[in-house]
Amino acid sequence: MTGARLNWRIVVGGGALLVLALIAIAAPLLAPVDPLEQDLFLELLPPWWQADADPTRALGADSLGRDVLSRLIHAARPALIVAVVAGVLTMLLGTALGLLAGYMGGMIDVVISRMVDIWTSFPPVLLAIMLVALIGTGLHSVIIAIVLIDWTRFCRVVRSETLAQTEMEYIDAAVIGGLKRGAILFREVLPNVLPLVIVLLTLEMSIAIIVEAILSFVGLSVSSDSPTWGGMIAEGRQVIHQAWWVMAFPMGLILIAVLALNLLGDGLKTALDPVLRR
Amino acid sequence: MNPVLDIRDLRVSLRRGAHLVRDVSLSVDAGEVHGLVGESGAGKTMIARAVLGILPDAIRVTGGTVRFRGEDLLRLPPKRLRSLLGREIALIPQDPLTGLNPARRISAQMTDMLRHHLGQSRGEARVNALRLLQEVQIRDPEQVLDRYPHELSGGMRQRVLIAIAFSAEPSLIVADEPTTALDVTVQKQILRLIRQMQERHGTAVLFVTHDLGIVAKVCHRVTVLHTGQVVEQGGIADIMSAHATPFTRALMDATPRYDQPADALHPVPEHVHQELRAAARRFDEANP
3-state helix/strand/coil string of B230-248: EEEEEEHHHHHCCCCCHHH
- Tell me whether B93 touches chain A (CB under 8 Å): yes
Per the CB < 8 Å rule, is B101 touching A275? no
Per the CB < 8 Å rule, is B93 touching A173? yes
The pLDDT of residue A90 = 97
Rounded Cα–Cα distance for residues B24 and B223 (Å): 10
- Tell me whether A123 touches chain B (CB under 8 Å): no
**A146: distance to nearest CA of chain B, Å?**
31
**A107: distance to nearest CA of chain B, Å?**
13
Q: Which run of H or of E encompasses B209?
A: strand B204-209
Of B109, B117, B150, the CB nearest to A275: B150
Residues in chain B closer than 8 A to A275 (CB atoms): 102, 150
- Tell me whether A175 touches chain B (CB under 8 Å): yes
Secondary structure of chain A: what % helix, strand, coil (to 5)? 70, 0, 25
Of B57, B101, B116, the CB nearest to A192: B101
> Rounded to the nearest 5°, which phi and psi values hold at B241?
-80, 175
Residues in chain B closer than 8 A to A191 (CB atoms): 101, 103-104
Which chain A residue is nearest to residue B91, measuring alpha carbons?
Answer: A173
Residues in chain A closer than 8 A to B157 (CB atoms): none
How many Cβ contacts (< 8 angstroms) between chains A and B? 69
Q: Which run of H or of E encompasses B123?
A: helix B122-135
Q: Is the predicted pLDDT of residue B241 greater than 80, yes or no?
A: no
B269-278 contacts: CB < 8 A, separation 24 or more?
Answer: B272/B246, B272/B247, B273/B226, B276/B226, B276/B227, B276/B229, B276/B231, B276/B247, B277/B227
* DSSP conformation class of B101: -
The pLDDT of residue B243 = 67
Per the CB < 8 Å rule, is B117 touching A168? no
Rounded Cα–Cα distance for residues B286 and B280 (Å): 10
Query: What amino acid is encoded at A70 in this protein?
Result: S
- Tell me whether B45 touches chain A (CB under 8 Å): no
- Tell me whether B80 touches chain A (CB under 8 Å): no
Q: Is A277 helix (H, G, I), strand (E, B) or coil?
A: coil
Which chain B residue is nearest to residue A179, measuring alpha carbons?
Answer: B82
- Listed residue (A204, A238, A201, A202) closest to A219, CA to CA: A238
Question: A6-43, pLDDT tens digit by residue?
Answer: 789 999 999 999 999 999 999 889 888 888 888 888 78
Which sign, positive or negative, has the C-alpha torsion B235, B241, B246, B247? positive
Residue A43 CA: distances (Å) to CA of A32, A37, A100, A249, B166? 17, 12, 56, 17, 81
Residues in chain A closer than 8 A to B164 (CB atoms): 173
The pLDDT of residue A2 = 43
- Tell me whether B38 touches chain A (CB under 8 Å): no
Question: B119-175, pLDDT tens digit by residue?
Answer: 888 899 999 999 999 999 998 999 999 999 988 998 999 999 999 999 989 999 999
The low-confidence residues of chain A, meaning pLDDT below 50, are 1-3, 277-278
Residues in chain A closer than 8 A to B104 (CB atoms): 188, 191
Sketch out chain B's domains with CATH numbers: 5-88+172-286 (3.40.50.300), 98-167 (no CATH)
Rounded Cα–Cα distance for residues A139 and A141 (Å): 6
The pLDDT of residue A150 = 93
Per the CB < 8 Å rule, is A194 touching B113? no
CATH topology of domain A68-272: MetI-like fold (1.10.3720)
Question: B189-230, pLDDT tens digit by residue?
Answer: 999 999 999 999 999 999 999 888 888 889 999 999 999 999
Cβ proximity of B199 and B31 under 8 Å: yes
**Domain range annotation of chain A:** 68-272
The pLDDT of residue A1 = 41
Per the CB < 8 Å rule, is B54 touching A175? yes
Rounded Cα–Cα distance for residues A199 and A269 (Å): 6
pLDDT-based confidence at B107, cuts 50/70/90? very high
**A188: distance to nearest CA of chain B, Å?**
7
Question: B35-85, pLDDT tens digit by residue?
Answer: 999 888 888 999 999 999 888 888 999 999 999 998 999 999 988 888 888
Residues in chain B closer than 8 A to A274 (CB atoms): 102-103, 148, 150
The DSSP-derived string for B2-56 is: --SEEEEEEEEEETTS-EEEEEEEEEE-TT-EEEEEE-TTSSHHHHHHHHHT---
Averaged pLDDT, B106-111: 91
| Greater model confidence, B256 or B191 | B191
Residues in chain A closer than 8 A to B52 (CB atoms): 172, 176
> Which pTM was predicted?
0.80
- Listed residue (B17, B12, B14, B21) closest to B58, CA to CA: B14
The pLDDT of residue A221 = 80
> Rounded to the nearest 5°, which phi and psi values hold at A174?
-70, -40
Q: Which run of H or of E encompasses A63?
A: none
